[in-house]
């Protein structure tokens, strides 16, 4: 019997089996430490797993929170978001779908160094990633429906983003400044010589009035 066939027989689509999660852990662990090269892997899709990342960054399996941070960090290292908009856990031999309520990561800490064009904004995520916002890892700001607020996101890797936690967002916008962009004055932040517009300056003044 081939190794590939054996892996398929242990498929994670049998999510109600306790061994299913253990099988994924063992295969994810073999992917190595840190973020795995999931973009280079093209395994078969093996169905969906009853796993969800809530909006606050908490991971659930079969409706129960995964309380072991090393396990969450292991799973986060084999996450991939594809062009279809869905998020998967990917190992060299299988790809399984999971649910993500908002973003898969949460930026829980910020450090700002330098000033002006030399300013660098660095985030730490809830799973330990450290990201410097810039041209390769842009920030984007989304209007929050129903509240009039903003939800900032920073790209972590691939198509995976971190939602900037609200206390961190307040610190982030504290480093904002008015910058002329395409003939319009925008309240923006800088990082690594890139400018990320938050909102039109006149809109901010109306909100602050």
What is the reported pLDDT for 59? 96
Higher pLDDT, 71 or 84: 84
Percent of the chain with pLDDT over 90: 63
Mean pLDDT of 56-71: 92
Higher pLDDT, 3 or 128: 128
Place 6 in a pLDDT band, splitting at 50, 70 and 90.
very low
Quickly count: other Cβ atoms within 10 Å of residue 168's Cβ. 20
- Please provide residue 20's backbone torsions phi and psi, each rounded to the nearest 5 degrees: -60, -45
What is the reported pLDDT for 147? 62
3-state secondary structure of 164: strand
- As a whole number, the mean pLDDT across the chain is 85
Mean pLDDT of 65-92: 92
- Is 70 exceeded by the pLDDT of residue 153? yes
What is the reported pLDDT for 13? 44
Residue linked to tokens 């916008």: 173
For the stretch 158-208, pLDDT in tens is 999 999 999 999 999 999 999 999 889 999 999 999 999 999 888 877 767
Mean pLDDT of 89-94: 90
Q: Find out whether 122 and 132 touch, Cβ atoms under 8 Å.
A: yes
Here the tokens at position 60 are 């659930």
Distance CA 107, CA 12 (A): 29
């Amino acid at each position: 019997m081939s190794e590939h066939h054996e892996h398929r027989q242990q498929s994670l689509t049998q999510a109600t089996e306790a061994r299913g999660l253990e099988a994924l852990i063992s295969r994810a662990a073999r992917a190595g430490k840190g973020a795995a090269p999931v973009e280079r892997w093209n395994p078969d899709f093996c169905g969906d797993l009853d796993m969800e990342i809530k909006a606050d960054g908490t991971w659930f399996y079969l409706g129960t929170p995964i309380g072991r941070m090393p396990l969450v960090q292991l799973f986060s290292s084999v996450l991939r978001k594809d062009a279809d908009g869905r998020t998967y856990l990917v190992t060299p031999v299988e790809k399984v779908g999971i649910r993500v309520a908002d973003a898969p990561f949460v930026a829980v800490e910020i450090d700002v160094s330098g000033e002006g064009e030399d300013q660098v904004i660095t985030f730490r995520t809830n799973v330990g990633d450290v990201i410097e916002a810039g041209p390769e890892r842009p920030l984007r700001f989304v209007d929050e429906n129903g509240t009039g607020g903003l939800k900032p996101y920073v790209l972590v890797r691939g198509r995976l983003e971190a939602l900037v936690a609200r206390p961190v967002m307040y610190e982030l916008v504290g480093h904002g400044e008015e910058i002329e962009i395409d003939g319009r004055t925008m309240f923006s932040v800088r990082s690594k010589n890139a400018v990320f517009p938050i909102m039109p300056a006149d809109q901010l003044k109306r909100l602050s009035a």
